[in-house]
Amino acid sequence: MRIATWNVNSITARLPRLLAWLESSGPDVLCLQEAKVAEEQFPFDQLREAGYEAAVHATGRWNGVAVLSRVGLQDVVKGLPGDPGYEGVTEPRAISATCGPVRVWSVYVPNGREVEHPHYAYKLQWFEALKAAVAGDAAGSRPFAVLGDYNVAPTDDDVYDPAAFEGATHVTPAERAALASLRETGLTDVVPRPLKYDKPFTYWDYRQLCFPKNRGMRIDLVYGNEPFAKAVTDAYVDREERKGKGASDHAPVVVDLDV
């Protein structure tokens, strides 16, 4: 079974590349982030023609998450129970579903913006709500994973230059502590490091030639429980999909399982 996660940074802009990637890579389940469309504008028909059902939680031009599956789609939960919301708005940042023998969450963790910004406090509160929401499944016997754009680099090795991020979000002790706390529910990072290269980044800014210079971050993560982690046979970042015209600023992360 192949499961992947990908921040597509607008499914409308990325649809041709997404359909081509589904055909070439053949994931059984794909978790998407930053759909950036209202649910009624989501390309259900095109994905169905490609062999995928879709569960979607999206409300407009910002955020939006989805789970695509060709092995079944059941027990869908839209939204994060206990979501703290931001400025009175509950944003579409989480969706979960059971796909064959595996249950997954697709999550798009708040960015945080700046350390002193209210969005940063919201980010930490959102992590607490995520931890509470997944704890039961994480401790269970069914293969379970939380996949998505966490907007946190777990260690200094997960950014191209720690000095370049000094004082910025994504690398602060509080954010990394939130990740560690999430792992305490029984989850582990199932993408091994190093992979086939020393710096398996998943995100590169569009500006300042960050991708050609490999000035990236590893912020797209797959956290699985013990049954999920034990079933992993391979994992990789599809760096090739970040290349070329019309690419997302994130690359897909792919995990193969023997379940």
CA–CA distance, 219 with 221 (Å, rounded to integer) = 6
The residues that bridge with 220 in the sheet, in sequence order, are 149
Give phi and psi for 44, each to the nearest 5: -60, -45
pLDDT 10s per residue in the chain (259 long)?
A: 999 999 999 999 999 999 999 999 999 999 999 999 999 999 999 999 999 999 999 999 899 999 999 999 999 999 999 999 999 999 999 999 999 999 999 999 999 999 999 999 999 999 999 999 999 999 999 999 999 999 999 999 999 999 999 999 999 999 999 999 999 999 999 997 655 556 689 999 999 999 999 999 999 999 999 999 999 999 999 999 999 999 999 999 999 999 9
Provide the sign of the torsion angle of the four alpha carbons 251, 110, 132, 79, taken in this order: negative
CB 39 within 8 A of CB 11: no
Give the span between the Cα atoms of 182 and 180, in whole angstroms: 5
Question: What type of residue is 154?
Answer: P
Distance of alpha carbon 228 from alpha carbon 137, whole angstroms: 11
Domains of the chain: 2-254 (3.60.10.10)
- Contact indicator for 110, 84 with CB cutoff of 8 Å: no
